[in-house]
Amino acid sequence: MALTARQDLMVRSQLAIAAKLGPWAKDAGAEGAAYVSATVNPNGAAGLKCENCLFFRAPTHCNIVKGQIERGALCRLYVIPQEKLGPKKVEKPVAVSAAPRNRFEGSVG
Ligand code: SF4
C-alpha cells in the first residue's frame, strides 16, 4: 500500500494530534472531523469511505475519531491510498466565492 509524501505526513501529524489532544469528535465544528454516515457520503462508490482509510479499525472503529464508525462513512481526516480509489469520478466540490476565506489562502504556491 503506497502513500504519497503528503499522505505520509498527514498520517503522522493526525496520529500525533490524536495522541496529544485525544481523538476527534464526529461533529462539523472547528474541532470536529465532519463525519458523514454511509447514507450521506456522496463519494463512497468512488472508494472514498472509511473502510479504505488508513485509520479504520474494523469492524466499527477508527484510530483518530471517536465512536462507532460505519464502513461506508467518511470524514475530512481521511487518508486513502490511490489504489483504493475506484474509477467513478469524485463529485465536484461546491463552488465558493473568489474572496479569500482565511488567512492561509494564497500563501502556498
Ligand atoms: S474517514 Fe478515516 S479518519 Fe475519518 S472516520 Fe473514517 S476511518 Fe476515521
Can the peptide bond before residue 59 be classed as cis, meaning omega within 30 degrees of 0? yes
* Nearest ligand 1 atom to alpha carbon 14: 3
What pLDDT was estimated at residue 41? 96
Q: What residues line ligand 1, using a CB cutoff of 6 Å?
A: 33, 35, 50, 53, 55-56, 62, 64-65, 69, 73-75, 77-78
Residues in Cβ contact with 75 at an 8 Å cutoff, skipping those fewer than 6 apart = 24, 26, 33, 34, 35, 36, 50, 65
Residues 18-76 have pLDDT tens digits of 999 999 999 999 999 999 999 999 999 999 999 999 999 999 999 999 999 999 999 99
What pLDDT was estimated at residue 87? 64
Task: Give the pTM.
Answer: 0.82
Helix (H, G, I), strand (E, B) or coil at 46: helix
d(CA 104, ligand 1 centre) in Å: 25
d(CA 99, ligand 1 centre) in Å: 30
Q: Is the pLDDT of residue 95 over 70?
A: no
Q: Is the pLDDT of residue 2 over 80?
A: yes
Of 31, 30, 67, 69, the C-alpha closest to 53 is 69
Identify which has the larger pLDDT, 94 or 17: 17
